[in-house]
């Protein structure tokens, strides 16, 4: 009798795990906010509802100055939100963009008039994002759990913070 109960429990757990694996987690954008550095780069982006179930990012990115690897990008989190257990090092802006091209080439096509691969310094330009969903596939499924997630991106020049923005995502069962 105990063996039959154990088999049923294992079967139910396996079904629950398969359900989680087959449907997965969906990341939906909640908000985007630039808090510093509008004189260097104006991120005129907003999250809006595309339909009843989808939020998209839409807007324009205005780069007002050429930037080199002297501009450092640091990715951090905030204590009231979930954090991914991934450590991302500080990098020069050109290296940061090259890393995006190397690891996420499909996602880089989401930005119209974006910088070219290995372009350094990054030129003055206006870039566009037209109704793009957050690419859930770039985050490993094994580390995401339901809740709010916040990505903070900060840019430093000579040790002084000159640009800051954040993106809030909501993870839900798909």
For the chain, the residue count is: 174
Q: What is the pLDDT of residue 162?
A: 92
Q: What is the mean pLDDT of residues 89-116?
A: 89
Q: Which domains does the chain have, with CATH numbers?
A: 26-173 (2.70.220)
∠ CA(50), CA(56), CA(58), 5° rounding? 105
Tokens 């690419």 correspond to 135
Q: What is the pLDDT of residue 89?
A: 67
pLDDT in tens, 122-155: 999 999 999 999 888 877 777 778 888 888 888 8
Task: Give this prediction's pTM.
Answer: 0.75
If you write DSSP's letter for every residue of 96-150 in order, what string do you get? HHHHHHHH-HHHHTTEETPPPTT--SBPPEEEEEEEE---GGGS-GGG--SEEEE
Tokens 């000579």 correspond to 158
Q: Is the pLDDT of residue 166 over 60?
A: yes
Question: Left, alpha or beta for 163 (phi > 0: left; psi -120 to 50: alpha)?
Answer: beta
Provide the 3-class DSSP secondary structure of residue 35: strand
Residue 51 vs residues 45, 63, 146, 168, 173: alpha-carbon distances, Å: 18, 30, 21, 19, 18
Q: What is the pLDDT of residue 5?
A: 45
């Amino acid at each position: 009798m105990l063996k039959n109960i154990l088999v049923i429990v294992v079967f139910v757990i396996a079904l629950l795990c398969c359900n989680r694996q087959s449907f997965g987690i969906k990341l939906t954008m909640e908000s985007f906010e630039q808090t510093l550095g509008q004189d260097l780069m104006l991120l005129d982006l907003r999250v809006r509802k595309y339909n009843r179930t989808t939020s998209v990012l839409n807007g324009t990115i205005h780069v007002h100055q050429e930037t080199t690897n002297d501009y450092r990008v640091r990715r951090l989190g905030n204590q009231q939100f979930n954090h991914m257990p991934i450590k991302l090092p500080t990098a020069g802006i050109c290296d940061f963009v090259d890393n995006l091209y190397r690891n996420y080439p499909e996602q880089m096509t989401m930005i119209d008039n974006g910088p070219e691969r290995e372009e350094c310094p990054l030129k003055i330009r206006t870039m566009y994002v037209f109704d793009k969903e957050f690419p859930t596939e770039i985050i490993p499924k094994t580390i995401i759990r339901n809740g709010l997630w916040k990505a903070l991106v900060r840019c430093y020049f000579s040790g002084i913070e000159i640009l800051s923005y954040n993106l809030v995502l909501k993870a839900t069962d798909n």
